[in-house]
Amino acid sequence: MVRANLIIKVLFLCFILSFYASQEAAYSAEGEVDKMLNNLHWLGHASFRLDGSKIIYFDPWKLSKGSQKADFIFITHEHFDHCSLDDIELISTKDTVIVASETAAKQLESVRPVCKEIKSLLPGDNIEISGIKVSAVASYNINKQFHTKNSCKLGFIVTVDGVKIYHAGDTDDIPEMKNYGCDIALLPVSGTYVMTADEAAGAALVIKPKVAIPMHYGDIIGIENDAIRFQDLLKGKVEVKILKKES
């Protein structure tokens, strides 16, 4: 009987220790996401800069002249507002790695901006560079022809400093998103060429990120009200942060 009681006490103690360890890990993970959010800068349209252990840009466009140099540049596809040679040249150095869709990579190889290398990826490819894990994922339209599935345009899920960030590229709410688990999701909301705010809200409910951030508005197509509607639709379901545009 004494032995049985001892075993029960030991098991209970193990349960308590395991519970508090899992809670501590959860709080730690939330802290890392919050830290990442503080270091994530929306530069307008679909362009972002992440100031982590590496300086990372997604689809740089219309950058200011004093922009920080990049360790990594991710290019989702070849359209001018996502693959801008002038902006890439502005932030690239001999040590910069450019990761791009196949068509965008070919486009850049033809002019060869100063960089360490240009990596061409297709949907489904996974690589790791300098501790940064990169998954290239599908990004396409299902009810329009601007970004067809067979054109192999990309979204990226990038794991940096233990946090997964998903940049969706120019996409609709596609079935593959159920597999795009991440901490932070950058989702287009403007409609016309990409998802509407309502469709993007539906995508966020499928992806279930800790935080969703609207993009692809305020230039060419889309207005701030698209971002606000996206936020309103997800109130109480998924946390949404609308970032202020920075130069």
pLDDT > 50? residue 24: no
Please state, as a whole number, how many other Cβ atoms lie within 10 Å of the Cβ of residue 116: 15
Average pLDDT (80-89) is 97
Q: What is the tens place of the pLDDT at every residue in 96-140?
A: 999 999 999 999 999 989 999 999 999 999 999 999 999 999 999
pLDDT band of residue 3 (cuts 50, 70, 90) is low
Integer Cα distance of 1 and 18 in angstroms: 26
pLDDT band of residue 4 (cuts 50, 70, 90) is low
Q: By percentage, how much of the chain surpasses pLDDT 70?
A: 88
Both tokens of 235, joined, read 């109130």
pLDDT band of residue 9 (cuts 50, 70, 90) is low
pTM score:
0.88
Task: Provide the pLDDT for residue 2.
Answer: 52
Q: What is the tens place of the pLDDT at every residue in 208-224?
A: 999 999 999 999 999 99
Task: Provide the pLDDT for residue 26.
Answer: 37
